[in-house]
Amino acid sequence: MTARPLIGISTYAESGVRWGVWQLDAALLPAGYPRLVQRAGGLAAMLPPDAPERAAATVARLDGLVVAGGPDVEPVRYGAEPDPRTGPPARARDAWELALIEAALDHGVPLLGICRGMQLLNVALGGTLVQHLDGHAEVPGVFGRHPVKPVPGTRYAAAVPEETSVPTYHHQSVDRLGTNLIPSAHAADGTVEAIELPGPPWALGVQWHPEMADDLRVMQALVSTARGQSCR
């Protein structure tokens, strides 16, 4: 039986979370993320924010990495002033996840960025973000849907070759692409909905939330690649 690769998933760090009789600081992850990894054939491991200098040692234990959705990336990370509609910074998480991305790219660990994770991948490679766009998160706390169309010949198109309706919840997007990144899917309004590195290392980012859908193909692509490299 083929071993299940170990896929690390970055998490939220939240203060004063209540459950039962407790109200404590917590490392949180919506259950859709580990469930998607498990359904796609991987083992899921939560990665709470840590010191950035420990990112390389953390990634060295993994077969694949998922950088999850979450708060807006602080604009200073891509040389911009904050728009009034940009959310408050999550500086510790930005530093940790950027270090994870750098370590994954340096060591050839397959990487999937989801929503914020895609935006951070772009920023990590020198790209910039649109700080606000309308129509991609219309109702607070409710996922919408819209179609995304793959770019032929890309890694994403190999996994999902047809136009697909996907669950979305974001108000920021990729602006200038980072070094060597290419767009691999677009929304009908032209918004870049997926980005990737065309060669090794394996790195893909999607703007939507595959953990909120039944379509496993994006995660299966990561898990399959991670499985193939797990004996490295």
Contact 189, 229 (CB under 8 A): no
Output the CA torsion sign for 206, 225, 60, 125. Answer: negative
Q: Is 138 a catalytic residue?
A: no
Q: Is 211 a catalytic residue?
A: yes
**Chain-centroid distance, C-alpha 221:** 14
Of the residues 136, 170, 186, 209, only one is catalytic, namely: 209
Pick from 215, 216, 211, 208: nearest CA to 115: 208
Amino acid at 32: G
* Calpha distance 232→226 (Å, rounded): 10
Of the residues 97, 115, 186, 196, only one is catalytic, namely: 115
* Calpha distance 200→150 (Å, rounded): 20
Contacting residues for 189 by C-beta, under 8 A, at least 6 apart: 135
* Residue 105 tokens, joined: 């790219």
SS (H, E, C) 69-126: CCCCCCHHHHCCCCCCCCCCCCHHHHHHHHHHHHHHHHHCCCEEEECHHHHHHHHHCC
Give the three-class secondary structure for 6. Answer: strand
Q: Is 170 a catalytic residue?
A: no
Residues recognised as catalytic: 115, 209, 211
